[in-house]
Structure 1
Amino acid sequence: MPNILTRIMAPFLKRGYDGASGGRRLRSQPETPATLSAMHAARGTLARRARYLATNNPLAASAVEGWVSALVGTGVKPQSNHADQGIRTALNLGFENWTADADADGATDYYGLQALMARRLVIDGEAFAVLINTGTTLSIRLIDAEQVDPSLNRDLANGRIVQGVEFDQSGRRVAYWIFPERPGMAFATALQAVRVPAADVIHLFKPETPGQVRGISWFAPVMLRVNDLDGWRDSQLMRQKVAAALAGFITNSEGTGQPFDGEQDGNTLIGGLEPGTLKFLPDGMDIKFSSPANIGAEVIDFAKITEREIAVGLGLPASILTGDLSDANFSSIRAGLIEWRRRIEALQHSVLIHQALRPIWKRWATTEVFSGRVSTTVPAALPAKFITPKQAWVDPKKDVEAELMAIAGGLMSRREAVTSRGVDIETLDAELAADAERAQTLGLTFNVPANTNTVAVEAA
């Protein structure tokens, strides 16, 4: 009777989503509980394993370099939007002069700090920096992610601390609890976390869920696959080492083996084998050599498929991850780069600029105004645009021609076209004017395509 009822009710008991069913095929499907609790539990382990991969695995190291180059390159530059041109120029020049002294540790400049933060963002999933005002100057000190005490969780009278990040009752970040010494220092003693106001801390991470507190390593989706592929490659390498080695087996009529090492008689070995010698075998003895299988095309195809899966999980084009362009053509690489650059732009503006570069600019501009080096108000000095490094074209000639047509047709401003090259239009125009004046003074003439130049100038 129960079986009959089950068959009758089966069409009505089926779930609307097969992925939520409990059948045999999905019985072993893992599930993720509440996203935040999973992040809190896995963040540290993922970061430690990602650090190992980025140090020891070629693909992981290539992925890190690919993302750092894409996000930062030679550096993202701020350009003041102050209404007064003179003050705007002073702010831009002052910031560029400050970049050489931006690092509190003196190890690099402002753009090097950007690259280092991007590197930790990819590997650890987050990067931290402390803004330090000393007198009338500003400097930036990068700190290790583990310096923000991940074990500190506490309820407060007016808020709470979660993994070293303090929130007020409204859920706003108000402070970070930071160890004064970096973990792993040779002379570090017992550490006590110090409360640092959130206004003085830069916390860079890619938000993946509402209420996220700390960042997750970008290697999380591919960590198992990278580790398994690494082990598989080691096995294949050992297989080739065995295939390249001379392996011989001496047997007698009874089928038992005889060791290689033995007594030598002139150039003839009685019981051993060395390069350049001949072996005389007694009656009833035979020698056979190993013939391990060579690596076939299916092994190479398997490696490429796995590498592409890893590239997808890391958000990278496969050619960027592996450096292999053997299967790429003009159309495929162009289409792949266009999609990847959209992803780069989104991360640059919503993560890198929003969380790190804009707060740094605001603190620096405020410091300049309060120090009296720039005669303006703080609100007027804060607006700025950020110029990202130029993305190289696949076909420069066609892309430039398309840009000129878009400018002439009113679909793009000349300022937008110049900014996309990673250059400020005012700086470019000043250089062009200076070049033209110098050429005229020296009586120099250059072969500039008149029509192209006219289109660009008229459209501007």
Structure 2
Amino acid sequence: MRRQKPSLLQRAFNVAWYATVGMKRSFQAARRSRLTQGWNARTSAGDANQVIYRDHETLRQRSREQSINSPYIKRFHRLLKQNVVGPRGIQLQSKALTPGGLADKRAREKIEKAWKRFSKKGNFDVTGRYSFVTFLNLWVETLARDGEVMVRLVRGFPNAWGFALQILECDRLDLNYNDLLPNGNRVRMGVELDDWERPLAYYLLRDHPGDTQQRPPARGRHLRIPADELLHTFEPWRPHQARGFTWAHAAMLELYHLDEYRHAEMLAAEHGAKLTGFFEQDAEWMEPPGEDEQDAEVEEAIEAGTAKVLPYGLKFTPYKSDHPATNFAPFIKQGLRGTAAGLGPSYNRLAHDLEGVNFSSMRSGDLDERDFYKSVQQFVISELLDFVFEAWLEMAMLNGALRLPFASLERYLEVNWQPRGWDWVDPAKDAKAASESIRNRTKSRSYYIRQGGDDPDEVFDEIAREEEALRERGLSVSTDPPTESPNEQDEDEERDAA
């Protein structure tokens, strides 16, 4: 049965009814009034790509400027590298298995040794400039600063493994290339997407757009790189997103004004420190100079413990400067708190300010901040290291650098990445809590070893070797403190009482 259209009167009633209901139940944050006019001007109904495309280049260049000139952005990048990558990088632990499902120690040792050799400077990337740790530091900083980073997987590279990496700035991913291809695929800011919005290829400019020595074009201005050869990484913000933007986007404006205020306040304070006062002329005592005459010079050299007599007609007025202002430090601190909230690390770490911090607040802040770094560590593993290891292992086995049967490739792909860990906030209390957890079987020894950034298998092997060496030398392997005899205990109690 065909549905009858509502009459004009009915439609008018519906509009009025919905408007009335909306007024009663509307969100306060969605109301439009004179108080929210500025907010209305900042909203946009565009999709993620439209919003990013409009401001992408400006955000990236301003973020790079602040990475050079802002001490706090520099500190943010340094904290990321120290806590996400660490001094040893994210360590590879092979978990290769035998066909029977047991640990394949021989294959694990071979894979880990080959990976360590590959991770050395001169082997890891195509330029020969970066080791594994240096490459990760550069990758993390580029990702945070620019909001996106590209790594090309170069298979068939002329080295022992037939494989190397090339890190690329996303300036080469043509931001202005947007097209609908004849096959139905779409190109959004240089990224070719299928109907499911899965990246298929990347259109790179043949040279960096900022390079003054551009090569002549050869068969077009783009290099089309298939998606299985290029890792384009950014932190997702909205669905349908094809490009990323700087991690400092929510803090840059506030930090810019904060830096300008600091600079102006420092200049004013410096000016006030250099300028001691003014000499004023009294017209009753001194005639103004003629056209060809100049004011008499007053000697202003001052030494400690001396006084000066001013000429007739002059009086000295001291200059009183109120810079730095009394609210300078609280204002800077409050601004940096907002900056830290937009970046991720705690205010105390970002600003190097431990004033007024007690143990409880420091512990709470450390645990929260470490969770942030752990999330970034897992992001690095899932977005970069898993793909790099799989491609490296395949090429190393095909190239003969890793002598293992290629038919068992799937079993050798089982790995565990061990990021850096941190020392305990309160070693005595945390160690006691760990011992209780192990005794109660709620946590394992391996868990706490991994929390420290070490490989449990390596630690257990080292303990076994150490205990064997102690036995060979006739030394005790017990870790319990020596027990005292009753007489020794009585003597200790009498000594303590005295």
Question: TM-score band (shorter)?
Answer: 0.7 to 0.9
- Supply the distance in 1 between the matched residues of 2:31 and 2:177 (Cα, whole angstroms): 39
CA 270–125 in structure 1, closer or farther in 2 if over 3 Å, else same: closer
CA 270–149 in structure 1, closer or farther in 2 if over 3 Å, else same: closer
**1:400 matched to 2:400:** no
What amino acid is aligned across from residue 61 of structure 1 in structure 2?
Answer: K
The match for 1:27 is 37
Where do 1:131-210 residues align within 5 Å? 131-133=153-155, 134=157, 136-158=161-183, 159-190=185-216, 192-210=221-239
Gaps of 5+ in 1: 1-5, 452-460
The match for 2:63 is 50
- Supply the distance in 1 between the matched residues of 2:24 and 2:455 (Cα, whole angstroms): 61
- Select the residue among 145, 148, 164 that pairs with 1:123: 145
Aligned-pair CA distance for 1:385? 1.5
- Deviation readout 1:266-285 (Å, 9 max, x if unpaired): xxx84452334975434332
SS of equivalent residue, structure 1 residue 221 = coil
- Select the residue among 79, 91, 103 that pairs with 1:77: 91
- Deviation readout 1:132-176 (Å, 9 max, x if unpaired): 122642111111121222222121123122111111233211111
Contact 1:175/1:197, CA 8 A, preserved across alignment: yes
Structure (1 or 2) with the larger CA radius of gyration: 2
**1:322 matched to 2:351:** yes
- Deviation readout 1:396-442 (Å, 9 max, x if unpaired): 22222222221221111222222221111111122222222233334
Gaps of 5+ in 2: 1-15, 98-103, 483-498
- Deviation readout 1:169-197 (Å, 9 max, x if unpaired): 33211111223434444533345221111
The farther-off stretch of 108-117 and 278-287 is 278-287
CA 183–430 in structure 1, closer or farther in 2 if over 3 Å, else same: farther
CA 246–365 in structure 1, closer or farther in 2 if over 3 Å, else same: same
Contact 1:121/1:127, CA 8 A, preserved across alignment: yes
The match for 2:134 is 112
The farther-off stretch of 190-199 and 388-397 is 190-199
SS of equivalent residue, structure 1 residue 181 = coil
The match for 1:352 is 380
The count of corresponding residues between Structure 1 and Structure 2 is 437
TM-score of the aligned structures, taking structure 2 as reference length: 0.81
CA 450–81 in structure 1, closer or farther in 2 if over 3 Å, else same: farther
- Supply the distance in 2 between the matched residues of 1:340 and 1:77 (Cα, whole angstroms): 21
The match for 2:341 is 312
Aligned-pair CA distance for 1:93? 1.8
The farther-off stretch of 63-72 and 292-301 is 292-301
- Select the residue among 412, 422, 436 that pairs with 1:381: 412
- Select the residue among 395, 407, 430 that pairs with 1:367: 395
Contact 1:68/1:119, CA 8 A, preserved across alignment: yes
- Supply the distance in 1 between the matched residues of 2:478 and 2:276 (Cα, whole angstroms): 70
CA 222–257 in structure 1, closer or farther in 2 if over 3 Å, else same: farther
- Supply the distance in 1 between the matched residues of 2:257 and 2:361 (Cα, whole angstroms): 29
Aligned-pair CA distance for 1:341? 1.8
SS of equivalent residue, structure 2 residue 383 = helix
Deviating above 6 A after TM superposition, structure 1's stretches of 4 or more consecutive aligned residues are 9-12, 255-259
Contact 1:407/1:413, CA 8 A, preserved across alignment: yes
Aligned-pair CA distance for 1:117? 0.4
